[in-house]
Structure 1
Amino acid sequence: MRTTSAFVGTLVSLVVTAGLGALGVWLARLSGLTTEENLGLASVAEGLNFSQLLTASLIIAGLGVLNDTTITQASAIWELRAVGPHLSRWELFGSGMRIGRDHIASTIYTIVFAYAGAALSTLVLLSFFSQPLNLLLSTEPFAEEIVRTLGSGIGLVLSVPLTTAVAALTVGGADPHGHEAWPQEQRTSVPRRAAG
């Protein structure tokens, strides 16, 4: 159930990320032909849709971080249940969300710096030109990074409440006497607490 809750959170968040990425690529009218590799690929694969390839790269780029977040959130709920068998599902959700907020803050920084590092040569090159910020942001290399960061970031932020809610609903109900209230398949893997 722990793995399933992480999987459901990842799947739903991935659908959101894919939708936002496709929408961003379409609204910004990105061609996907900003790198030498893609230009070379265009010469040998004439029928390839580079806008769709850009959307696919956006989804794949965010999947690793998304998977890390959903697994961590599901695991946190299970650990919270182990130390607090008396907690209600709503209390589990609240505690999980507090953990998730801290996790998201650090992960968003990781994404932004990773994208900035990947586009560092472009940033340095553009720093030599005295152009207004709105003009720089409208160039395709910058627009690609903005769409990539926003799509992945929003999907990542939404993954926390989604996964936390699924995990809190599937982890098992609270026991007012402090005994564990785990689903049957979980009882063999978690030591039972002594009655207080």
Structure 2
Amino acid sequence: MNPKHYGQARMRALRTITASRPGRLLVGVVGVVALLTIVGLVALWPSGQGPKVAGAGVKTLAGTVTQVRSASCGGPTKQQCRTAKIRLDEGQDKGLQVDVVLGPAEVSPDLQVDQRVRMADQNAGVPVAPEAGPQEPSYAFSSVDRRTPVIALAVLFALLGAVVARGRGVLALLGTAMSLSLVVLWLVPAILDGGSPILVATVGALAVMFVTTILTYGITAQSLAAVTGIGVSLVAAALLGTLWTDLAGLDGKDGDLSAFTLQSGGELPLQGILLAGMVIGALGVLTDTVVSQVSTVAALHRANATLGARGLYREAFVVGRDHLSATIHTLVLAYAGATLPLLLIASANGVTLSDAINDARLAEPIVSTLVGSAALVLSVPLSTALASVLVGRLPPDALSSDDGHSHHH
């Protein structure tokens, strides 16, 4: 469709929506949520004064492996340790050959000659007294340079999305990029600045919801109803997460952030950060499920305008129930995959199931999975009911037939 005609069609659809009382109510609710989200973004805007740990962020430089050797690690055992000689390819010591000890051969990276790696400059950020003179170069192996394959995979994903979904795919990719930017550039700094993590996560998730939903599906009756349903479901996820982290005694102090918190003077609210992760983690599946339910109600209403709110709810809920079981399965398997190393260690050490789930490192993802799944279960009847009452009372010509996100069963 011509962009001009596309825009005119959108304006006609919006005018049709606001011509009815349910449509005005829908637009009003979404407008209030959007206004509160904007106020939250501004009020919680990070100042950049969050806690920082001197020397924690290590600068890395490009290097190339020129030699790999194995030698005895020393001591009473006959264990072999892997060492390497690495040439620096950038920085003030470019061309310098650095000998590094990688560690026991069984657990150290299996480097190959000419492989690109990253080297940590251990002098970077370390204060030096003027009378101390120039520092001796000090570098350590950081990791294999895997940036190129990661970027290549991201480009491949973007191309696949653009080719398969065409214009809609491009908009979805743009929405994804903007959402990730919001998380990295606003949400994380806002938490570091001392903002309430659960409040920051809720506002951030609502902002991401608006960006992805409106950008991908446009301003239609379906997207407006979906925004309402997702917003309520996110609040439910935040409340459930708050309740169950307290009941389960999960304070976040057993995770990777505990050391950083200690170094930064204990300024990070670890339990709040755990809750924030639950809210953000639930957003993706909630968006997919709620948009599907709203689109199903809209499709039923277009096909049979005589169906009342109860009829629409009953028929759409059947579809939602099927979609729900598959989505919960996906969510559980995603968390199970993330905790697989811990499950393997527990099984190898003969740890019982009751003791394993009591370990905070497993209890946290379990609670996150259950909170997300519970919010997902609640979102189906909730979003279906909202759509049946709001969208189901709109004239059929106010509903777009090309913006739905439906699944066939």
What's the TM-score bracket when you normalise by the shorter of the two chains? 0.7 to 0.9
Deviations 1:31-63 (A, max 9, x none): 213333x13431236211101100000110011
Given that 2:278 and 2:372 are in contact with CA atoms closer than 8 Å, whether structure 1 keeps it comes out as: yes
State the alpha-carbon separation in 2 of the partners of residues 182 and 172 from structure 1. 8
Taking structure 1 as the reference length, the TM-score comes to 0.85
Q: Residue 347 of structure 2 aligns with which residue?
A: 127
Query: After the TM superposition, which residues 43-192 of structure 1 pair with which residues of structure 2 at under 5 Å, given as runs?
Result: 43-44=263-264, 46-173=266-393, 182=395, 186=398, 189=400
1:39 aligns with 2:252: no
Deviation >4 Å, runs of 4+: none
CA shift digits 1:159-194 (9 cap, x unpaired):
011111111111244xxxxxxx7167x07x56xxxx
Distance in 1 of aligned mates of 2:388 and 2:248:
38
Distance 1:172 1:137, change over 3 A: closer
Structure number with the bigger relative contact order (C-alpha 8 A, sep ≥ 6) is: 1
- Structure 2: stretches of 5+ with no match in the other structure: 1-220, 402-409
Question: Contact between 2:324 and 2:376, CA under 8 Å: does it hold in 1?
Answer: yes
CA distance in 2, matches of 1:3, 1:129: 50
SS at match of 1:171: helix
Could you say which structure has the larger radius of gyration?
2
- Within the candidate set 220, 223, 226, 1:6 is matched to 226
Could you tell me whether the CA contact under 8 Å between 2:312 and 2:392 is conserved in 1?
A: no
Which stretch of the first structure deviates more once superposed, 43-52 or 61-70? Answer: 43-52
Letter in 1 for 2:384: T
Aligned length: 180
* Coordinate RMSD, CA, aligned: 1.7
What letter is aligned with 2:395? W
Q: 1:89 Cα shift?
A: 1.5
Map of 1:193 onto structure 2: none
Cα distance between partner residues in 1 of 2:224 and 2:278: 24
Normalising by the residue count of structure 2, what TM-score does the alignment of the two structures yield? Answer: 0.42
CA distance in 1, matches of 2:230, 2:389: 16
Task: Give 1 or 2: higher strand fraction.
Answer: 2
**Partners of 1:6 and 1:57 in 2: CA distance:** 22
Structure 1: give runs of 5+ residues left out of the alignment: 174-180, 191-196
Residues 45/110 of structure 1: CA separation in 2 closer, same or farther (3 Å cut): farther
The one-letter code of the counterpart of 2:352 is P
Distance in 2 (CA, whole Å) between partners of 1:156 and 1:172 is 22
Question: For residue 284 of structure 2, what is the amino acid of its counterpart?
Answer: G
- Is 1:22 matched with 2:242? yes
